[in-house]
Amino acid sequence: MRVKRLEHFMGEGWQLRSAGGATGEAYIAEQGEQKLFIKRNSSPFLAVLSAEGIVPKLLWTKRLENGDVITAQQWVDRPELKSYEMNHDSVASLLSKIHRSKELLDMFMRMGNRPLSPTEILANLDLRTRHLQESLLYVKEAMQWLTDNFPVFYEEKCVVCHSDVNHNNWINNEDGSLFLIDWDGAQVADPALDLAPLLYLYVPKQDWEEWLKGYGEELSEDLTLRMQWHMVVQCIDNILWFWKREETANITKWSHLLDDILQART
C-alpha cells in the first residue's frame, strides 16, 4: 500500500520497489531509463551531505500532506565496497572529511544534538544487557572492564560520526568518487566511535598507523585506548542484537572478537 501511494505521488509511469534496509523506508524508482533513490523521512542534514559530496546528489525534497518528507537522490548503480577495499586511502580520506566538516557539526548541533559521552553509552548498554550479564559471565566481565577502563572524553573534539561504517554503506560512483550512505544513526561523538569498527574489522593491525596517516591522525596510546573501549561496546551491542535473534554463530563470532580485544592488553 505504501509503495502504491508513493507511485501515485511520483506520477504516471514511475514504478517503485524496495531498496532494502532495516527501516523499509527506501525505494528505487524507475521510469524508462531514469532511476532514482527515494526515501521517506531521511536524515534532515541530507542537503549538507550532498553539497559536500559525501552522499549521492540530492535532486529534490518534497513534503507530503501527512507531514512525511520524501527525498530523491541520484542513483548510483555500483556495488558497495568489499571488506578488503576498506583499507584504501579513499576511505580514510572521506572519513577524515566527514569528521572535520564544520558545516555538518554546526547543523547537527543547531538541531539540538549534544555530544554522546562514554557515561551515556555505558549507562545505556548496562541497562540493555542486564539479562545478558546474568546469563553470560563474559559479558558481565566486559562491562566491568568498560567501567575500569573509562576513556578520557574530549567534548570539544567530538565530531559528526556516521555510527555504522560497515563496508556495505560505502559505494563508488562511476567517476571514481566515493560515498558513505545511510545516515539515519549519525550522532555527535568521539571520532573513535567510527574509527574503532573500521580499523578492527577491516584493516590489519600492522596497517593502522599508515591508514591513520591518510585520515590525518597519529596512532597514539590515547587513541588506541579510546578505540579499544568503543570496540568493546560494539562487540557487546552485537552480542545483544544476535542474542535476541538466537543466532548462535554470530554470537560466537562477536564473543571471540571481544575476547581478542580484551586479551590484547592483559
Active site residues: 164
State the virtual CA torsion across 197, 201, 203, 209 in degrees, nearest 10: 40
Q: Which long-range contacts (CB under 8 A, 24 or more apart) does 204-213 make?
A: 204/87, 207/87, 211/87, 211/92, 212/92
Q: Please say whether the beta carbons of 15 and 31 come within 8 A.
A: yes
Beta strands in the chain (DSSP E): 15-18, 26-31, 34-40, 58-63, 69-74, 159-161, 170-172, 178-180, 187-189
Report how far residue 76's alpha carbon sits from residue 241's, in angstroms, rounded to the nearest whole number: 30
Which residue type is seen at 255? S
Question: What is the torsional sign of CA 158, 162, 166, 169?
Answer: negative
CA-CA distance, 40 to 71, in Å (whole number)? 7
- Using DSSP's 3-state secondary structure scheme, residue 243 falls into helix
Cβ–Cβ under 8 Å, residues 71 and 42: yes
